[in-house]
Chain A
């Protein structure tokens, strides 16, 4: 069975600094999808970034980028130039192709400090 582990329950970063959130996963599949979702205090889940396992290039969305290490089964999220609005809970998620079931990690609470 697939599992997703986020080992950092809480993190903080100064505004304008860079922070990296860790995520590891376990699967025997060779192809799959990985996601980072943001859940701000409003509780609305927002897709931050998505990575397809068969693509070697790391995904990037503006200030958000990932470091995808397939062999190590690691999928970390880097937030550059952190902003106060980045304060939220961040969930790493895994999904197998052909299914729509997400497996979420336990989340990392990120606080951006002014």
Chain B
């Protein structure tokens, strides 16, 4: 099946700094990618939908200026957490939709962000 990778798998950053997380579709072109956040022992919450070549669509309550999303190519979307604070510590998961495979998304392995 289709493979989605994320980098890094774990990152620790200091409060006030920014951190970038990459999501790549390895063997298919993804016109749409999705970013989720998962708190410990909780479900996945959709943060935003990233469309190649256009602005991301953010879910209600998600700060677009804090969570910058760029989908510059058909195989790469990035999530930048700007001016990170300890409350941004979480597990971030991306998924990608393969064109033509209308009802299936492939998930990346996730990135654990810890802000100290």
| A44→B110 contact, CB < 8 A | yes
CB-contact partner of B42 in A44, A50, A95, A106, under 8 A: A106
Of the listed stretches B12-20, B70-78, B97-105, chain A binds B97-105
| A47→B104 contact, CB < 8 A | yes
Does A42 have its Cβ within 8 Å of any Cβ on chain B?
yes
Q: Per DSSP, are chain B's interface residues mostly helix, strand or loop, or mixed?
A: strand
Q: How many residues of B contact A (CB 8 A)?
A: 20
Min CB gap B98→A, angstroms: 11
Interface residues of B in 62-100 (CB under 8 A from A): 91, 93, 95, 97
**Number of A-B residue pairs at CB separation under 8 A:** 44
| A42→B49 contact, CB < 8 A | no
Of the listed stretches A61-69, A79-87, A96-104, chain B binds A96-104
What B residues does A91 contact at CB under 8 A? Answer: 43-44
| A43→B110 contact, CB < 8 A | yes
Min CB gap A38→B, angstroms: 11
| A100→B43 contact, CB < 8 A | no
Cα of A104 to Cα of B49 in the assembled complex, Å: 16
| B43→A45 contact, CB < 8 A | no
CB-contact partner of A100 in B49, B91, B93, B107, under 8 A: B49
Does B35 have its Cβ within 8 Å of any Cβ on chain A?
no
What B residues does A100 contact at CB under 8 A? Answer: 32, 34, 49, 97, 105
Interface residues of A in 42-63 (CB under 8 A from B): 42-47, 50, 52
| A45→B42 contact, CB < 8 A | no
Residue of B nearest to A37 (CB): B107
Cα of A12 to Cα of B115 in the assembled complex, Å: 34
Interface centre among A50, A52, A107 (most CB of B within 10 A): A107
Name 16 interchain pairs, CB-CB below 8 A, sorted by A: A43-B109, A44-B107, A45-B44, A45-B107, A46-B107, A47-B104, A50-B103, A100-B32, A100-B49, A100-B97, A100-B105, A101-B34, A101-B49, A102-B44, A102-B46, A104-B45
